[in-house]
Amino acid sequence: MMFRTVFRAGLPASSSPFRVEDEQARELDWANRFLDMQCIRGVAPLTLRSYANMMLHFVRWWSRQPGVDITHFTAEQFTESTLIDYVRDQLQELPKPGPENVNNRSSMLRRLFRFHFHQDMPHAPYLIQRTWYRRSPLGYGRGRVATAPADLKLKAPHRVVVPLSAEQVARFWHSFHTARDLAIVALMLLNGLRSREVLALKLEDLLFSESLIRVAGKGARVRLLPLPPETIRLLQCYLKTERPLTNAPHVFVSLKGHARGAAMTPAGLRSLFRHHRATSGVPPANPHRFRHYAASRTMPRGSRRIGARPVECRVDCASAVQDAA
């Protein structure tokens, strides 16, 4: 039996738009009820989609196990040993998933079990414990040894990230020719904005008179960031000369094609960066890496505040617009 995740628009606000179903479009009730609860909690759509994809991966594996009724989720047939078998089979896959993916799937299954049965997952026949020393209640004397069941987590190696060099940043910067694209890169490089934060900017968030920008980040947290003069000139040039006449409230919109005047999508931004990575010859310059590491590499030593201007990447708005023309 084949399973898949689908996106369904028009569902009630209490229902997850991402659904798990089989090849005959029959929904998996126990999986979708868990997704509906995450939607009621108000998790972000991207997080909800990741939950659905992790659920799909587990459902496909569990449906191949002998003696499993996939239409029902019971505590008798899902125990700690089932989780260990699931982790073991993941480590034998080709390509092998990363430890972070395996740990995220295991944590999701524990939340799934707790949601359906209102208790933690039973540990028989395996028992994984963690041990630590607990100080005495009065604050002196010998401490006591305490133990508790531990989650099954793989040890994730420390990720070594090689930042972009100043020459790579400059080469990638000069591959852009329109004021809109230069403004997008400037907001990531000079202000440290994430790609989704750049796309979510609206016209009312640009406070040019105060040289500030209002950014809605993760967790619905709003912050005010200073705008360097170079970025202000780029944004003003884009708004005056390139942005189509449209009712879209977003700052960055499409300039060409049938989507002209519509807000830029994440897929469009990825396509833009993919094209310029090929033309500039800087393969690692993706939006996420560019935002996190190019700015820290080009900042003056000792400067840690967001909004500090790199010395190597100052751009003249007038020359940029002239080149674009």
Domain edges within the chain: 3-117, 166-324
φ/ψ region of 47 (left if φ > 0, alpha if ψ in -120 to 50, else beta) reads alpha
For residue 316, name the pLDDT band (cuts at 50, 70, 90). Answer: very low
Per-residue model confidence (pLDDT) at position 308: 37
Which pLDDT belongs to residue 305? Answer: 38
pLDDT of residue 173: 87
74: number of Cβ within 10 Å: 11
Whether residue 28 has pLDDT greater than 70 = yes
- DSSP secondary structure letter of residue 253: B
| Residue 244 near residue 261 (C-beta atoms within 8 A) | yes
Rg over alpha carbons for the chain, rounded to the nearest Å, is 25
Phi, psi for residue 296 in degrees, rounded to 5: -65, -30
Highest mean pLDDT (candidates 51-55, 83-87, 155-159): 51-55
Fold exhibited by the domain 166-324: hpI Integrase; Chain A (1.10.443)
